Amino acid sequence: MPHNNFIIATKTISAEVYVFDYSKHPSKPPLDGSCNPDLRLRGHNTEGYGLSWSTFKQGHLLSGSDDAQICLWDINGTPKNKSLDAMQIFKVHEGVVEDVAWHLRHEYLFGSVGDDQYLLIWDLRTPSVTKPVQSCIAHSSEVCCVV
């Protein structure tokens, strides 16, 4: 997380995103292979790839997934049993959401790309989670990265 370098988010083979504060974990993992994240983020139905921390809003994290959804969390929220539900779920892509990225200069804007060949631009100031403010076909095949 840009505001706290000790906070790390990672995608998993399950639908959850794990958040760790590595200052609270031993440098050597347990021998039994157990994984104990500080926070489990819920909202997706399947695994995925893209993650993006906001550089403007501390604790705001975007995630794309194979379930064609984009989830937004504020990890500053109050978790229940170390789990936190997404505060918004965006659903427009017609396939895997390969990547998401916050705009570098505008705190309310982010982009998403996916296997449907589209680049979508979202504005959090608009109430719709099913209609991006801009969309275009970005490639003749799946789009894997947005920066």
| Span of 21-25, 58-62, 77-81, 127-131 with lowest mean pLDDT | 77-81
Indicate whether 14 belongs to any domain: yes
pLDDT grade, residue 77 (50/70/90)?
A: confident
pLDDT grade, residue 69 (50/70/90)?
A: very high
CA 68 to chain centre: 12
d(CA 118, CA 48): 17
| Mean pLDDT, residues 118-137 | 93
Residue 146 near residue 107 (C-beta atoms within 8 A): no
Indicate whether 106 belongs to any domain: yes
Percent of the chain topping pLDDT 70: 100
Q: What is the pLDDT of residue 115?
A: 96
Indicate whether 2 belongs to any domain: no
Residue 71 near residue 111 (C-beta atoms within 8 A): no
Q: What is the pLDDT of residue 30?
A: 81
Domain extent at residue 63:
7-137
Q: What is the pLDDT of residue 111?
A: 97
Residue 72 sits in a domain of what CATH number?
2.130.10.10
Is residue 102 pLDDT above 90, yes or no? yes
d(CA 100, CA 73): 13
Q: In this structure, is the dihedral angle defined by the CA atoms of residues 105, 107, 109 and 110, taken in order, positive or negative?
A: positive
Indicate whether 11 belongs to any domain: yes
Q: What is the pLDDT of residue 40?
A: 96
- Number of structural domains, the chain? 1
Indicate whether 26 belongs to any domain: yes
Indicate whether 146 belongs to any domain: no
Q: What is the pLDDT of residue 31?
A: 86
pLDDT grade, residue 79 (50/70/90)?
A: confident
Percent of the chain topping pLDDT 90: 77
| Mean pLDDT, residues 7-33 | 90
Indicate whether 1 belongs to any domain: no
Q: In this structure, is the dihedral angle defined by the CA atoms of residues 59, 11, 90 and 120, taken in order, positive or negative?
A: positive
Residue 97 near residue 50 (C-beta atoms within 8 A): yes
**Encoded tokens for 20:** 């760790």
